């Protein structure tokens, strides 16, 4: 009986009394204690009737118990589906229903709001709070501890679903297999030189690829420990950095640290490695970081469908503004976006990736899958890139209409559909423009219907009810018409240029 992901990441640490998770309150869970919770949780899943291949949708705060639920799902052969804690009930309704989840785990405080969602989807509802308490935990507490036999899985069996929005229409459930996750963890431990001596400062959310697979799977495989913080809080991060050897973050983490004079060479001289990803790290941030700390941030590039694809080298030159080389086992190429013919060194085109990291497809969307994942295994990322003569990949832009704010993806189409449905709105356009803290932020342009006066406060209230907070426009502009080309297509570049400096600090 084998379960490749569990066998490689967790089985070697069963019974180990060294630390795995250091919590914010100063307490620590050993590998053995953590895996004991995971085993009990796996027993609880079975007691609830959850079967191998079933989906478990999880909308719960970051905690060791939530992480143990992830490990329990792997061990029980169940597909783990984490959901952004900022999602509103309206957003969650789709994910729980579309995935066909049999169990929906939510925060105890939201149980009443979530009950209709679970009922409509025909899923059981259980709760798990930030403090680890809830109806699921009550069930976990009465289960036997160690001794849950890992359910046999093949490399091609699904381990997780992560939903990613699309440039048009519905969000897509990216199906990730055991091999996808395992091969990526192995490549990253290798290229980033993680060992059991490492302590990772973990301030990322665990409902996305970065905080869950990159950070957690890497630390599990390496057998090291994590300082597991509920979120990125500057004071806590500054206080805990002295106990860490490595940190992973989105660029906003690093710009926030640089904004604080206490973040200096003395504080982080002992650190082995800082890694950045999920959004472009400005070359100027890379340089400012080195000037302040002596460390060159290691930037890597990935996405939900593929986990990580490229990384700057550990030993060689970490080149500012680039995302480095293809990971071992991963191929990258740049192609003409229309003909898909491979382009020459240095030419800009659509980035394609292929390898054991590339997902199996979108859940119940064979046509979408065919559009983006070719029969020969190449996945069309939607990112525009060039590869230079030394093999460094630079992401130069996006072929997809996507805004990345503080590491979270926002698809303008989704916000436009919401705005277009508001009273008095004839049409809308949403663009991302530079933002000093989030990298990019959302500007919405509204065109009122003839004679209508828009009630912006009412639109804001509706947005709070329907959209996760990070998606809400941070600036709303009213225009009589949207700029269009001769084909009638909205000229978003015009809008981006027009509003390029609305979030920039004014220079006197
Ligand atoms: C929070 N808010 C944001 C935001 N995060 N607004 C825009 N963009 C964001 N990223 C809003 C909230 O809605 C709220 O608004 C207000 O800010 C305060 O909320 P908060 O939770 O206290 O915010 P803060 O702690 O400042 O969070 C910012 C952040 C966080 C950067 C620390 O967003 C974060 O941890 N981002 C990491 C995202 C990540 O892990 N991405 C990986 C994706 S995987 P209001 O109006 O209610 O006050 C991937 C693949 C890969 O991309 O390559 O890794
Ligand atoms: P997601 O769909 O949330 O997984 O986001 C993936 C997208 O984030 C990629 O397609 C890129 O557009 C972007 N991304 C991730 N890492 C980087 C990076 N280092 N530089 C530029 N863009 C990045």
The domain boundary residue, chosen from 153, 183, 206: 153
- pLDDT tens, 6-40? 999 999 999 999 999 999 999 999 999 999 999 99
Q: How far apart are CA 8 and CA 80, in angstroms?
A: 18
Tell me the percentage of the chain whose pLDDT exceeds 90: 96
Could you list the residue range(s) of the whole structural domain that residue 472 is in?
402-498
Residue 449, pLDDT score: 96
Q: Is the pLDDT of residue 508 over 60?
A: no
Q: Is residue 119 part of a domain?
A: yes
- Using the mean position of ligand 2's atoms as its centre, give its distance from the Cα of residue 126 in Å: 33
Is the pLDDT score of 168 beyond 70?
A: no
Please say if the pLDDT value at position 330 is more than 90.
Answer: yes
Q: Is the CB of 252 under 6 A from ligand 1?
A: yes
Residue 131 lies in a domain: yes
Q: Is the pTM of this model over 0.75?
A: yes
Supply the residue whose CA is at minimum distance from atom 23 of ligand 2: 279
Per-residue pLDDT, averaged over 425-432, amounts to 97
Residue that is last in its domain, among 104, 134, 153: 153
- Note whether residue 335 is domain-resident: no
SS3 479: coil
Q: Is 246 part of a structural domain of the chain? A: no
Residue 236 lies in a domain: no
- List the helix and strand counts (H, then E) for the chain: 17, 25
For the chain, percent helix, then strand, then coil, each to nearest 5?
35, 25, 40
Residue ending a domain, among 129, 153, 177, is 153
CATH number at residue 116: 3.40.50.980
Q: What is the pLDDT of residues 104-128, one digit of tens each?
A: 999 999 999 999 999 999 999 999 9
pLDDT at 507: 59
Q: What are the angstrom distances between the C-alpha of 430 and each of 405, 459, 478?
A: 13, 15, 12
Task: List, in sequence order, the alpha helices (H) in 376-475.
Answer: 412-420, 456-466
Tally of structural domains, the chain: 2
In a domain, 82, yes or no: yes
11 located within any domain: no
In the predicted structure, residue 274 carries a pLDDT above the cut 90: yes
**Cα–Cα distance between 72 and 6 in angstroms, integer?**
9
Q: Ligand 1, closest atom to CA 205?
A: 40
The answer to whether residue 295 sits within a structural domain is no
Q: Pick left, alpha or beta for residue 289 (phi over 0 → left; psi -120 to 50 → alpha; otherwise beta).
A: alpha
The pLDDT tens digits for 436-451 are 999 999 999 999 999 9
The atom of ligand 1 lying closest to the CA of 300 is 53
Report which ligand 2 atom has the smallest distance to the Cα of 299.
Answer: 19
Task: Residue 492: give its domain's CATH number.
Answer: 3.30.300.30
Instruction: Kindly tell me if the per-residue pLDDT of 333 is higher than 90.
Output: yes
């Amino acid at each position: 009986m084998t379960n490749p992901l569990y066998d490689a990441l967790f089985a070697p640490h069963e019974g180990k009394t060294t630390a795995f998770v250091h919590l914010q309150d100063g307490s620590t869970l050993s590998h053995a204690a953590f895996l004991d919770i995971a085993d009990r949780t796996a027993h609880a899943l079975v007691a609830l009737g959850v079967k191998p291949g079933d989906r478990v949708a999880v909308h719960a705060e970051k905690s060791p118990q939530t992480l143990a639920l992830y490990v329990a799902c792997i061990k029980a052969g169940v597909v783990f589906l984490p959901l952004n804690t900022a999602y509103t009930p309206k957003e969650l309704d789709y994910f729980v229903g579309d995935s066909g989840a049999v169990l929906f785990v939510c925060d105890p405080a939201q149980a009443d709001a979530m009950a209709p969602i679970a009922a409509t989807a025909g899923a059981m509802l259980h709760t798990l709070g930030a403090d680890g308490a809830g109806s699921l935990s009550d069930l976990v507490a009465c289960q036997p501890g160690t001794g849950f036999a890992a359910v046999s899985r093949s490399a091609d069996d699904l381990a997780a679903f992560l939903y990613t929005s699309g440039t048009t229409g519905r969000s897509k459930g990216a199906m990730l297999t055991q091999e996808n996750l395992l091969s990526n963890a192995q490549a990253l431990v290798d290229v980033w030189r993680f060992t059991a001596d490492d302590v990772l400062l973990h301030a990322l959310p665990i409902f996305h690829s970065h905080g869950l697979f990159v950070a957690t799977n890497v630390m599990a495989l390496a057998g090291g420990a994590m300082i597991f913080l509920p979120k990125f809080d500057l004071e806590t991060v500054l206080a805990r950095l002295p106990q860490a050897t490595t940190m992973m973050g989105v660029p906003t983490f690093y710009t926030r640290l640089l904004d604080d004079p206490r973040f200096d060479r003395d504080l982080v001289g002992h650190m082995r490695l800082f890694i950045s990803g999920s959004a472009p790290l400005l070359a100027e941030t890379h340089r400012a970081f080195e000037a302040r700390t002596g460390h060159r941030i290691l930037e890597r590039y990935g996405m939900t469908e593929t986990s990580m694809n490229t990384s700057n080298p550990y030993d060689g030159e970490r080149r500012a503004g680039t995302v480095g080389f293809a990971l071992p086992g991963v191929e990258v190429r740049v192609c003409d976006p229309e003909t898909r013919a491979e382009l020459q060194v240095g030419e800009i085109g659509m980035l394609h990736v292929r390898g054991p990291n590339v997902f199996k497809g979108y859940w119940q969307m064979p046509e979408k899958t065919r559009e983006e994942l070719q029969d020969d295994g190449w996945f069309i990322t939607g990112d525009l890139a060039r590869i230079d003569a030394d093999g460094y990949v630079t992401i130069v832009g996006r072929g997809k209409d996507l805004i990345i704010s503080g590491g979270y993806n926002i698809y303008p189409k989704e916000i436009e559909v919401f705005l277009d449905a508001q009273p008095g709105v004839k049409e809308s356009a949403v663009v991302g423009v530079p933002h000093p803290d989030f990298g990019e932020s959302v500007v919405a342009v509204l065109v009122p219907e003839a004679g209508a006066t828009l009630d912006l406060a009412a639109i804001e209230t509706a947005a709070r009810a329907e959209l996760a907070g990070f998606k809400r426009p941070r600036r709303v502009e009213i225009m009589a018409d949207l700029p269009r080309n001769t084909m009638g297509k909205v000229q978003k570049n015009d809008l981006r240029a027009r509003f390029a400096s609305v979030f920039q600090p004014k220079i006197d």
